[in-house]
Amino acid sequence: MELLTLARLQFGMTTVFHFFFVPLSIGMAFAIAILETMYVVKKDKIYKDMAKFWGNIFLLSFAVGAVTGIIQEFQFGMNWSEYSRFMGDIFGAPLAVEALLAFFMESTFIGLWIFGWDKFSKGLHLAFIWLVSIGTMLSALWILSANAFMQNPVAFNINEASGRAELTSFFGLLQNHQLWLQLPHVLFGAILTGGFVIAGCSAWKLLRKEDTKFFKKSMQFGLIIGLIGSVLTMGAGHAQMVAVAEDHPMKFAAMEGIYDDTEGDKAPWTIVAGIDTKNKDVKWHVSVPMMLSILGGEDSYKGMNSVNEDLHKEHDAQFGADMDYYLPVKTLFWSFRFMAGFGTLMALMAVVGLWLLRKDKLQNMKWLLWVFTAGIAFPFISNSTGWIITEMGRAPWTVYGLFTIADSVSPGVTSGSLLFSNIVYFCLFLFLGMVMIVYSKRYLRKGPYYVSPSEARKEAIDPFAKEAF
């Protein structure tokens, strides 16, 4: 298998697996902070129990996410050293801030939150979890500031002697409009993820008719958070799509399956299509007339064929006339529909679920509870396909318009070593995923009021023993 393909496969596999846990950690931390806030304000113990119970799921996701994040960062030096040489001055600063400030902030206050329930005042303990939640969001900010530069390079110049991109303004890096389009989309998607994981796990427990009051309350809370997150995510996604049409017309055309320039006063939006990548044509399609222009705000859009010509005129002098600017159209086209489709579906599910909970009917509808249980996977599908669009839509560059993927690979890496490490990473990720699922399921089975045998013995000896965490 080709060296470049193996390197991309490894980084893509690591990124997708890592991104299973990033939005989950951000969303769960935010949800737990809200639950503990409700406990402090309302003084209702069920909110404290909910914060503690779902906090353990958050801790599992945080631990696995940290491990996979470290593996991902190692790959910049292992497989992509030429990219690191070119971009090191740019992404080094935000990645350092993320590790030294945001990650250590999360880690410190997680420890204080876990072990501080009976050692600090309610207000101070609440501040700990909010600082954890803010830390997770700051981590996203610094990582996305580096990624946004790759999508839209700003605040830099090229050192002609070294051939490296050098940062001219750190604050200019933070003013990148791509950053402030990506960040809300990611954060709102994370809130949606946290809400639907809580709702789906609660649905599974309601199917088993265990701790019904607790999990009805949890499901209601999860669906409210999920509904808010889904609506905000759709709004942020729409704003990002409008910008993509301007910044990356090839990506936009591929996502919409447009090979030729749209004709007429208003462009239609294609729901499904049969795409022929060999002949660069759409054989058949089902479209909604004028909808793309209504959503995007433009009467017409360029197709991939026209954009390809424009890119060759702009970049042939630097990258050569044999550069292929066409993207994997089917992957981007269907990924966008999976992302948007599951996002819309989750919003509808949240509305239906909340209405049925209000009518006190949902806990008796087994088939629908199974749908909500399966819905645990929906935000992960939506998040993953969204990142596939973001990263694959930037080809053939790692840094848009400046540095190609082909030039980014480490020169000393061999196909054999990459194949071996791909197999090792796949097995490691499979193991970590199984650990996350097994321990989460085991914890869910125990429920929020499980008392271990050692704790039961302690309470039997000392009836005034403090409540165990």
Contacts of 330 (CB under 8 A, 6+ apart): 275, 277
Q: Mean pLDDT in the chain?
A: 91
**3-state SS of 203-255?**
HHHHHCCCCHHHHHHHHHHHHHHHHHHHHHHHHHHHHHHHHHHHHCHHHHHHH
Query: Does the pLDDT value for residue 468 go beyond 50?
Result: no
pTM comes to 0.92
Query: Does the pLDDT value for residue 54 go beyond 70?
Result: yes
Classify strands 403-404 and 269-276 as parallel, antiparallel or unpaired.
unpaired
Q: In the prediction, which pLDDT does 456 show?
A: 57
Mean predicted confidence (pLDDT) in 420-432: 92
Q: With b meaning 16 or more CB within 10 Å and e meaning fewer, what string describes 427-460?
A: eebeebeeebeebbeebbeeebeeeeeeeeeeee
288 CA to centre of own chain:
29
Q: In the prediction, which pLDDT does 74 show?
A: 82
> Are 151 and 247 within 8 A, CB to CB?
yes
Query: Does the pLDDT value for residue 467 go beyond 50?
Result: no
Tell me the pLDDT tens digit for each residue of 368-404.
999 999 999 999 999 999 999 999 999 999 999 999 9
Contacts of 356 (CB under 8 A, 6+ apart): 362, 365, 368
Q: What is the domain partition of the chain in residue ranges?
A: 3-246+330-460
- Rounded Cα–Cα distance for residues 443 and 422 (Å): 31
- Residue 369 in tokens: 């509870």
Q: In the prediction, which pLDDT does 1 show?
A: 52
Mean predicted confidence (pLDDT) in 81-91: 92
Q: In the prediction, which pLDDT does 412 show?
A: 83
**Phi, psi for 50 (deg, rounded to 5):** -65, -40
- Rounded Cα–Cα distance for residues 150 and 91 (Å): 9
- Rounded Cα–Cα distance for residues 347 and 192 (Å): 9
Query: Does the pLDDT value for residue 469 go beyond 50?
Result: no
Tell me the pLDDT tens digit for each residue of 217-251.
999 999 999 999 999 999 999 999 999 999 999 99
Query: Does the pLDDT value for residue 465 go beyond 60?
Result: no
**In the chain, what percentage of residues exceed pLDDT 70?**
96
Q: How many helices and strands in the chain, by DSSP H and E?
A: 16, 6
- Rounded Cα–Cα distance for residues 80 and 45 (Å): 51
Query: Does the pLDDT value for residue 466 go beyond 50?
Result: no
Taking CA atoms, 255 is separated from 284, 330, 390, 445, in Å, by 16, 8, 11, 42
101 pLDDT tier (thresholds 50, 70, 90)? confident
Query: Does the pLDDT value for residue 450 go beyond 80?
Result: no
Query: Does the pLDDT value for residue 357 go beyond 90?
Result: yes
Decide: residue 179, CB within 10 A, 0-12 exposed, 13-18 middle, 19+ buried: buried
Query: Does the pLDDT value for residue 200 go beyond 60?
Result: yes
Residue-wise DSSP of 79-121: T-HHHHHHHHHHHHHHHHHIIIIIIHHHHHHHHHHHH-TTTS-
Tell me the pLDDT tens digit for each residue of 123-163.
999 999 999 999 999 999 999 999 999 999 999 999 989 98
Contacts of 207 (CB under 8 A, 6+ apart): 366, 369, 370, 373
354 pLDDT tier (thresholds 50, 70, 90)? very high
- Residue 359 in tokens: 């009518």
452 pLDDT tier (thresholds 50, 70, 90)? low
Taking CA atoms, 257 is separated from 251, 331, 392, 397, 456, in Å, by 10, 10, 15, 21, 62
